[in-house]
Amino acid sequence: MAEEARALLFKRVQGFYYNRKTRTGYLDFDSEKLYFDLTHPYISFFVLKEVNLPIVHRERDIGIFGFKLARIKTLEKDRVLYMLFEKKDTLKVVALELLGKSSYFLLIDEKGIIRAKYPAHRERKKGGDVGQTYTIPSSFANFDLKKYFPKIEKLDEKDLLKSFMESSTFYSDGEHVLPFKLTGYDCCGGFSDCMFNIYKKIRFNIESAFYLGENIPYYVYYKAAALLKRGLIDIDDNALMVDGYTIHVKKQGNRNDVAEHLYFIGKRLKRLQSLSDTEVQKDKLTQKLVSPSGYIVLVGKSAKDNNRITFNIARGDDTFFHVRDYRGAHVILKNHGMPITEQDILFCARLAKYHSKGRGGAVDIVYTPVKFVRPVPNSPGKVLLLKEHVVRV
């Protein structure tokens, strides 16, 4: 999103508009507008072109009319955006803090004092308030175990917290999450993935509704969610058109439900598209590729390498590929439970075929979530699949 905002550099502000009820607003740069949405969970900002915004946004004077945008800086991967405005010898900073329910639009003067705040009625407890010196807000949030975990007999909260902190894999029965295996609970990878699956089931009453679009940046989903929620765009023929991208809506529902689901898809996709992959970089010999939808793909180069990427690096909701009836490389699509397209499947299947003994002719490629893959004892590289799909390439 910050890269999109850089298109406004060296342009002058023509006005500032804000709607207290919806907590949305925009900085007007004449033909372009920096739109922001501080309504949880649609928190985002992006540049709008050739869009007529509703008249519910009222103009307000915050003292930066005619100022030129001179510099942009971000913190925590777009969670805080700083814009430095200048006019002659006067400098002012706008801070857009996208921190969940503690999100603000702030105007800071050259002395570091907060001069304006939106939403104005809410007290800014961390980082200073109007009239006080601005400080960077804390990025740590309180975590309430009782909100996410069921009550389990013979296990106090300290033991549960210890298990949570030490675990890298979580399990769910569709209603609760546990940091350890229990009868009736299936592995769903990381904690956030478990919670997302539960959220979909409860909030939307769906198991696998999704929105597909090849090579779509995560911020396009944020933008689509905000514009759809505000009534600035509509779903036409089961598709949304945003910035030249097409998002195919496989299942429709209430406008707000669709918008909220788009937001969470964007949130998860952002994590995938900005992975540091420290666990992969530990071994530079592992071949790493990118699928048509932007997911990272790992290819094993030996039996030991196959075991490592499948059982040490991959998560339970990633996708495993291997050629049937031939020796070959394990191919891992790191989609973290996100939808995969036919192009992704064919891309990984062809990789598995190429790195196998069956590359000379047509072969069957099996694929399945990693959680259904089991190692064969004392046979490095060999696996058993509890469930599988097949594609012939």
Over residues 77-90, the pLDDT tens digits come to: 668 899 999 998 89
* Confidence (pLDDT) at 141: 44
Per-residue pLDDT, averaged over 270-289, amounts to 50
pLDDT cut 90: percent of the chain above it: 23
CATH annotation of 2-118? 2.30.310.10
List phi, psi (to 5°) of 124.
-90, 100
pTM: 0.50
**SS3 call for 176:** coil
Range from 66-80, 138-152, 249-263, 379-393 carrying the lowest mean pLDDT: 138-152
Task: Report the range of poorest mean pLDDT among 172-186, 307-321, 369-383.
Answer: 172-186
What mean pLDDT is reported for the chain? 80
Q: Which range is most confident: 128-137, 189-198, 213-222?
A: 128-137
pLDDT digits (tens, 9 = 90+) for 92-143: 999 999 888 889 999 999 999 999 999 988 888 778 899 999 988 765 444 5
Least confident range of 96-105, 110-119, 204-213, 233-242:
204-213
Task: Name the strands in the sheet holding 170-172, side by side, starting at the edge strand that comes first in the sequence.
Answer: 177-178, 170-172, 186-189
Per-residue pLDDT band for 71 (boundaries 50, 70, 90) equals: very high
Cβ atoms of residues 139 and 76 within 8 Å: yes
Token look-up 């036919």 returns: 342
More confident residue, 145 or 225: 225
Greater model confidence, 317 or 67:
67
Nearest to 295 by CA among 239, 240, 336, 246: 336
Contact 29, 218 (CB under 8 A): no
More confident site: 206 or 230: 230
Q: Where are the domains of the chain?
A: 2-118, 145-273, 279-392
Nearest to 148 by CA among 188, 204, 191, 200: 191
